[in-house]
Structure 1
Amino acid sequence: MNALNLPFDADEMLKGLRPWVECESPTWDAAAVSRMMDLAARDLAAIGATVETIPGTQGFGTSIRASFPHPDQGKPGILVSGHMDTVHPVGTLDTLPFRCEDGLAYGPGIMDMKGGNYVFLEAMRQIRKAGLTTPLPVTFLFTPDEEVGTPATRGLIEDAARGQRAVLIPEPATPDGGAVIGRYAIARFDLLTQGRPSHAGWALKDGRSAIAAMARRILQIEAMTTDDCTFSVGVIHAGQWVNCVSSSCRAEVLSMAKTQEDLDKGVAAMLALQGEEDGVEFIVTRGVTRPVWEPQPGTMALYDLARQLSSQIGFDLAAGSAGGGSDGNFTGAMGVPTLDSIGVRGKGLHTLNEHIEIASLPERARLAAGLLTQIS
């Protein structure tokens, strides 16, 4: 049987995906993410995979690695790499419940990236049910910390990818439905201003506000944005008493750079901002960084195959480099052939309008099944 003709059913896939979406798994809630991993492990084991649970580190949840029976088990094969953490805190289901209407399915994390992960699981389910054998051994790796830059599991992902023939990453499709064959670098920075406390009522002039200093720095940092290197401050923590001049303020910066040269310049510009001004110390600490991933011949060969398959399925698969880092930055930068963003179509990821196109579930499952049975 041709894998593209396997009986993928959108309604059945939604039934299987719903428990995943309703198992809320924000990155910083290790227990919640581990519950999601347990659910995925159960579903993988039910279709014949041998599943290993890998304990979490650095305060994050567990990871799972699932291997399917294959005569060449242990030899280079296909790695399906995805994350199960989301940006949505527990309780988001109250305002963004799982629901289906007008051809769309809604829910926290359904687009980024539980829908795509489930698509690949369903592809393997139908492949095995039909008695088909993939040319290469297939391993799934689901990790818990991608939304914060993969600080704990980067090494795990790189070890799993090393020597593989292909890495497939079911991140959501790009807005035009396309795949990603390269990604810009993503760098994170931690900011700290240290001022001088005083009573905000009767001794205001004696203080040096860390909050006010940080506000000025934020405007300075975001003004450094260009088309090739962007800077965005997305987190601020400061203050406890309104009648106290703040003595410290913390913030976090995300920077995107198109090339290694752009990244190096951006990092240098951020670090150069450090110093003291008007009695307030400003400290910049570089955080986790996703390397630039540029398209390589192995990745282009994967894309050519995916485009041939998509044409047979009935759609055209565009491709290009993209911002918005993923774990594909790591595997692609290693030189391992990597095809990213081949998951579901949708909109509103990271918002309270996150949804997928239901029709993309069987569409992408056919693409996944085609890749899994034709990469050799």
Structure 2
Amino acid sequence: MSATDLPFDTDAMLAGLRPWVECESPTWDAAAVTRMMNLAARDLAQIGAAVQVIPGTKGFGTSIRASFPHPDQGRPGILVSGHLDTVHPVGTLDRLPFRVEDGRAYGPGIMDMKGGNYAFLEAMRQIGRAGLTTPLPVTFLFTPDEEVGTPATRGLIEEAARGQRAVLLPEPASPDGGAVIGRYAIARFDLLTEGRPSHAGWALKDGRSAIAAMARRILQIEAMTTEDCTFSVGVIHAGQWVNCVSSTCRAEVLSMAKTQEDLDRGVAALLALQGPEDGVEFTVTRGVTRPVWEPQPGTMALYDLAREVSAQIGFDLSAGSAGGGSDGNFTGAMGVPTLDSIGVRGRGLHTLDEHILTSSLTERARLAAGLLTRIT
């Protein structure tokens, strides 16, 4: 039996995925993410994997590494790399409950990326049940901090990927169902304006508003956006009393750059804005950065194999480079053959309409099974 013909069942997969979706796991809630890791660890152990729990660092939840039995255990093999944190705070289930209707399944994190992770787990379950052996050892690594740039586990991912024959990331499929074979750079920056406080009612002129200064800086920064390097301010924190001129304001910027040269120019331009203006000091601090990942021969060979498998299943797998960083930036930039965004199809990730096409669960499990049993 070909691995793509294994008896994957959509209803059974939805039943198994539901507890994952209903175990809310926002990045900044370490305990919640750890609960999700424990659930995934249980499911991986039940299908025969040896699971190692890796303690969290920097305030994030745990990670898990699951190794499946193999005669060549310890030799270069396949790493399935995924994250189990989501952008949805605990309580989102009240507004976005798990439900299945009209060929779609809804829920927080179901598309990004619990659905894809579960499809790959199901692939290993069915491979084992059929008595098949993958040509190479297979390891799953699930991490807790991807949605905030992977500040705590980048080293863990790079260590796990180093020397592997392939890295597979079940991130959501592209809008046309395609895979990702390269990604643009993603850089994060922390902004700080420091003004002078005063009473907003009777001494307004004595103050220098950090909020007003930040508002002007935001317009200036976002106006720097081009097709090749974008800037977006997504977080602002300031103020406690409306009758006080604010003395500090903090914000966070996300920048996307298509090439390293674009990134270098963007970083330089943003850092050059620092300094005082009208009595308010402006400081830019560079945060975590995902490197540019450009397609390389090993990745292209991996994609060619995936396209053969998809054709056998009955669809054409397109591919291209993409914005929106993932942990594939790290492994791809290392030169390890990496195939990204081969998880489920859907829409609305990071919104209250997040959903997947239920048919894509079995489609992607078949793709996973085909890859896991054919990569050599």
TM-score (norm 1): 1.00
Counterpart position of 2:132: 132
Counterpart position of 1:273: 273
Deviation at 1:335, TM superposition (A): 0.1
CA distance in structure 2 between the partners assigned to 1:317 and 1:5 by the alignment:
18
SS at match of 2:202: coil
CA distance in structure 2 between the partners assigned to 1:316 and 1:3 by the alignment:
18
CA distance in structure 1 between the partners assigned to 2:270 and 2:154 by the alignment:
24
Deviation at 1:195, TM superposition (A): 0.2
Percent of matched pairs sharing the same residue = 89
CA distance in structure 2 between the partners assigned to 1:269 and 1:146 by the alignment:
26
Root mean square deviation, CA, Å: 0.2
User: Is 2:41 the partner of 1:41?
Assistant: yes
Equivalences for residues 110-259 of structure 1 within 5 A: 110-259=110-259
Amino acid at match of 1:96: L
SS at match of 1:189: strand
Render the CA deviation track for 1:102-132: whole Å, top value 9, x for unaligned.
0000000000000000000000000000000
> Number of paired residues?
376
Deviation at 1:308, TM superposition (A): 0.6
Counterpart position of 1:105: 105
Deviation at 1:265, TM superposition (A): 0.2
Amino acid at match of 1:270: L
SS at match of 1:374: coil
Deviation at 1:375, TM superposition (A): 0.1
Counterpart position of 1:10: 10
Amino acid at match of 2:306: A
Deviation at 1:137, TM superposition (A): 0.1
SS at match of 1:350: coil
SS at match of 2:373: helix
SS at match of 1:267: helix
Counterpart position of 2:300: 300
SS at match of 1:186: strand
Deviation at 1:207, TM superposition (A): 0.1
Deviation at 1:205, TM superposition (A): 0.1
CA distance in structure 1 between the partners assigned to 2:322 and 2:7 by the alignment:
33
CA distance in structure 2 between the partners assigned to 1:269 and 1:119 by the alignment:
42
Amino acid at match of 1:218: I
* Structure 2 gaps, min length 5: none
Deviation at 1:261, TM superposition (A): 0.2
CA distance in structure 2 between the partners assigned to 1:252 and 1:161 by the alignment:
30
Counterpart position of 2:359: 359
Deviation at 1:26, TM superposition (A): 0.1
Amino acid at match of 1:103: G
Render the CA deviation track for 1:240-286: whole Å, top value 9, x for unaligned.
00000000000000000000000000000010000000000000000
Deviation at 1:41, TM superposition (A): 0.1
CA distance in structure 1 between the partners assigned to 2:14 and 2:102 by the alignment:
14
SS at match of 2:82: strand
User: Is 2:76 the partner of 1:76?
Assistant: yes
CA distance in structure 1 between the partners assigned to 2:138 and 2:312 by the alignment:
23
Amino acid at match of 1:195: G
CA distance in structure 1 between the partners assigned to 2:314 and 2:119 by the alignment:
18
CA distance in structure 1 between the partners assigned to 2:175 and 2:268 by the alignment:
32
Deviation at 1:219, TM superposition (A): 0.1
TM-score (norm 2): 1.00
CA distance in structure 1 between the partners assigned to 2:134 and 2:309 by the alignment:
16
CA distance in structure 2 between the partners assigned to 1:263 and 1:211 by the alignment:
28
CA distance in structure 2 between the partners assigned to 1:308 and 1:124 by the alignment:
20
Deviation at 1:89, TM superposition (A): 0.1
Counterpart position of 2:284: 284
Deviation at 1:58, TM superposition (A): 0.2
CA distance in structure 1 between the partners assigned to 2:315 and 2:269 by the alignment:
44
Amino acid at match of 1:185: A
CA distance in structure 2 between the partners assigned to 1:289 and 1:55 by the alignment:
23
CA distance in structure 1 between the partners assigned to 2:223 and 2:351 by the alignment:
25
Render the CA deviation track for 1:145-164: whole Å, top value 9, x for unaligned.
00000000000000000000
Render the CA deviation track for 1:337-371: whole Å, top value 9, x for unaligned.
00000000000000000000000000000000000
Render the CA deviation track for 1:196-216: whole Å, top value 9, x for unaligned.
000000000000000000000
SS at match of 2:289: strand
CA distance in structure 1 between the partners assigned to 2:224 and 2:176 by the alignment:
29
CA distance in structure 1 between the partners assigned to 2:265 and 2:360 by the alignment:
40
Amino acid at match of 1:23: C
CA distance in structure 2 between the partners assigned to 1:221 and 1:372 by the alignment:
45
